[in-house]
Amino acid sequence: MFIFRGPSPEDLHLTPEQGQAQMQKWFNWIGELSAKGRYVGGDPLVREGKTVKGKKPVATDGPFAEGKELLGGYVIIKAESLAEATELAFGFPDFANEGSVEIREIVKMPMPS
Partner 1 sequence: MSSGETQSTQQLVDHLFRHEAGKMIAVLTRIFGIHNLELVEDTVQETFLKALQVWKFNPVPDNPGAWLMQVARNKTIDLIRRQQKLADISSELQGRLLSNTENTIQQFFLDTEIADSQLRMIFTCCHPALSPEDQVALTLKTVSGFGVQEIARALVSNEAAIQKRIYRAREYIRTNHVQFEIPSGVALGERLETVYTVLYLLFNEGYSSLKADEPIRYDLCGEAMRLCKLLTEHKVGAQPSSFALLSLMCFQASRFDSRIGEAGTIILLQDQDRSKWNKDLIALGYRFLNQSSTGDYLSVYHIESAIAAEHCLAPDFASTNWDALLRLYNFLLEHKPIPIVQLNRSVILARTAGIGAAIDTILDIPHIGELLNRHYIYAAVLGELYAQAGNSAESRRLLEKAYELTPSLAEKKMLQEKLAAIH
**Nearest-angstrom CA–CA distance, 72 and 44:** 6
With CB under 8 A, what is the number of residues at the site for partner 1?
A: 30
10 exposure class (CB count in 10 Å sphere: 0-12, 13-18, 19+): exposed
Residues 6-25 that bind partner 1 (CB under 8 A): 9-10, 14-20, 22-24
Contact at 8 Å (CB) between 5 and 99?
A: yes
**Phi, psi (degrees; rounded to nearest 5) at 72:** -105, -20
- Stretch 67-106: interaction string toward partner 1, x if CB under 8 A: ------x-xx------------------------------
Smaller CB separation from partner 1, 28 or 60: 28
Which residues of the chain form contacts with partner 1 (CB under 8 A)?
Answer: 9-10, 14-20, 22-24, 26-28, 30-32, 34-35, 37, 39-44, 73, 75-76
